[in-house]
Structure 1
Amino acid sequence: MVNLGALATIDPLTSLYNRRRFSEFLAHEIDRTKRYKTDLSIIMFDIDHFKKINDTYGHEEGDNVLKMFGARMKDIIRESDIIARWGGEEFMILAVNTNLKNTQILAEKIRANIENQQLASAPKFTNNESSHNINGKNPANMKSLEISFKIG
């Protein structure tokens, strides 16, 4: 039997949370960080040159890259952090109880790890590059995802 709740909240390709569920988590975490005066940071990752992978090796390989990218990030983040596929080749991480300095360290750790992954069927793309934006605003000023990101 199909779990309709999972269909509404999980990205079917990567098995990560989807944009809708991430937005729900974000609203909850903003309220929680305001109440308890804790840190909250957001990282947005984007796979650089993703269109070139799709154009050169096909969408199936592009899907494999998305799955690998999501799985690697999920392996690196803490259990308390929340990761989602935002759309296309964009991923979001909600780093709970994490200040800006530690968020920058986490983002760099993920970037370096992803860059060193090799694609089995796309050997010319030995360096998978990604970009990331970080927002570590005071949660009291966060209202929604209408947050300006600064390049990390």
Structure 2
Amino acid sequence: MRCPVCGAPETRVIETRSSDEGRVNRRRRECPECQSRFTTYERLEEKSYLWVVKKDGRRESFDRDKLIRGFQHACEKLPVALETIEAAAARIEERVRASGQGEISTTVLGEMAAEELRGINKVAYVRFASVYREFTDISSFTNEISRLLDDKEAHRNG
């Protein structure tokens, strides 16, 4: 693995961990030339393509990293670990692949992402929902927050 800082052709692995329920190897590496450290992720390349169907009908390939970036944006400045975000993205990808459909609409994908975030962090969920569901006024926010509070109260009493 080439060093991203100095470009040295060889780096050494200093730690390896399995993540994403054993589907990903996370490796901490160090460059012997400049001593910089960085992390790489190794995952099995999936053979079958997944397609995302946009609202206007266009299709693009499923991009787990794009989903992770969306989660990271929603979780910005919140106490949510990267591993939690990656696991959520992996669960969504696994669900889509298990469906056998080969494609998914952005509407369904967005609902799956919102569902994952709702279980991870309520603030992140509201942030994501406000963009995904295109909240246009304060009543949209208050309605969604009221739903969350009602769910919390139902769990407490149920």
TM-score (norm 2): 0.28
Larger Cα Rg: Structure 1 or Structure 2? 2
Relative CO higher for 1 or 2, CA cutoff 8 Å, sep ≥ 6? 1
TM-score calculated relative to the size of structure 1: 0.28
